Amino acid sequence: MPDEIRDLLTKVSNDLSRVNDEFSRKAEETLAEVKNAGKMSEQTKAEVDKLATSQTTLCGQLEELTARLADVEQKRARRGGGDEPVESWGAQAIASEKFKGLTSSSVHAGQRISAPVKNVLISTGVAEGIVEPQRLPGIDAMPKQRLFVRDLIAPGRTTSPAIFWVQQTGFVNNAAVVPENTGKPYSNITFATKITPVVTIAHMFKASKQILDDFAQLQSTVDSEMRYGLKYVEEQEFLFGAGGAGNIEGILPQASEFAPAFEPDARTNIDDLRLAVLQSQLARLPCDGFVVHSTDWTAIELTKDSVGGYILANPQRLAGPTLWGKPVVETEIPEFEGEFLAGAFRSGAQVFDREDANVVISTENVDDFEKNMISIRCEERTALAVKRPEGFVTGSFGTAAAGG
């Protein structure tokens, strides 16, 4: 008898879950219909009323079956059932060997005595579907690296497959005071032509049509993750890109090596970044930002003075990462730990976007139509022109000073 009630209870629970899902979908369709047509159609109203009636009926059946099952279990426990009589927990405890011969004089203050108890109702003894697991809303997404290097660089757009520009490569200034009736000196300015290709960064993702239809939030999650994937590769390319056909030539391979002009007393990583600013300034391209690994920036923020006070940070207030009046971008790219980049990002480089990051869904890739699959493509087209490489300085913290 209890097994039959449990089976019926499971069936009613499943039916109620199905009706709830249908009711939710119909509610979304009804809202869309009212928004578009301004009212609910008679057919829709009849369908909604039918679902509401079914939901009420099933809830009543579920409540009645739950009460019946509890009543049967209680009666069975009182009179015993099955192959072995069921004793109460108290009776089982009293009959335990640990309680036999026990007297008040043998019990000490604070002493605990335990006895085994059989036929206890535990979670595994409850029929499936009676106790449902709690469903947390949303999707717990993976953590992402903060991407800000692009924000330092001057933005731009293009409609061409490549960026071409003329770069001044030198200037020999021979201007001088000239006596009357004397030939004037000639200065020399040299130029070179530069070209950088617009590259495509892209990746694909496969999914079934049904899962995206049934789980709407999954589509937005896939969209977000795929866009992040592009930005992560873009970050690496802007910094480390090796150049060549169809590739971005990054800033670091073109930047000047860090060569401190002098050795300050008790030199720190903070001093190194200031010396890099000086090197950029002497190249007549004032530094306007830094890129530092998160670990190195943490070490800088934790720098203390002789009495233990923080030099830069104030743990009791929030402040953006800045040093020497210039923004600091933290990166988590492992290869960059122990290194830094300082430079004239706004005047020394420029990003040209040919096509913004976009996500396209298709059902006509290979055999997608036949298998009810969809292909999702995310891509962007961009170019990075490092116009003044000498305006960027990169190196390791602690590099020896020139002549040192």
Q: What is the pLDDT of residues 196-210, one digit of tens each?
A: 889 999 999 888 888
Asked if 263 contacts 401 with a C-beta cutoff of 8 angstroms, the reply is yes
**Helices 294-301 & 269-282, crossing angle to 10 degrees?**
110
Residue 392: φ, ψ to 5°: -115, 140
Average pLDDT score over residue span 147-172: 85
Q: How far apart are CA 365 and CA 372, in angstroms?
A: 11
Please calculate the CA angle 295-298-304 and round it to the nearest 5 degrees: 140
**Helices 2-37 & 42-79, crossing angle to 10 degrees?**
160
Q: How far apart are CA 200 and CA 197, in angstroms?
A: 10
User: Which tokens belong to 371?
Assistant: 């298998």
pLDDT value at residue 145: 55
pLDDT value at residue 111: 53
The secondary structure of residue 128, as a DSSP letter, is T
pLDDT value at residue 260: 92
Residue 110 has pLDDT above 80, yes or no: no
CA nearest 230: which of 355, 334, 378? 378
pLDDT value at residue 207: 85
Residue 328 has pLDDT above 70, yes or no: yes
Asked if 376 contacts 236 with a C-beta cutoff of 8 angstroms, the reply is no
pLDDT value at residue 15: 72
What band does 366 get if pLDDT is binned at 50, 70 and 90? confident
What band does 276 get if pLDDT is binned at 50, 70 and 90? very high
Q: How far apart are CA 201 and CA 226, in angstroms?
A: 11
Q: How far apart are CA 102 and CA 185, in angstroms?
A: 118
Q: How far apart are CA 354 and CA 160, in angstroms?
A: 7
Average pLDDT score over residue span 234-260: 89
Q: Greatest CA separation found in the chain?
A: 132
CA nearest 346: which of 150, 151, 153, 148? 153
* Helices and strands per DSSP (H, E), number in the chain: 10, 12
Query: Strand, helix or coil at 371?
Result: helix
Asked if 198 contacts 354 with a C-beta cutoff of 8 angstroms, the reply is yes
Residue 359 has pLDDT above 80, yes or no: yes
Q: How far apart are CA 268 and CA 303, in angstroms?
A: 9
Q: Which residues have a Cβ under 8 Å from the Cβ of 85 and sit 6 or more positions away?
A: none
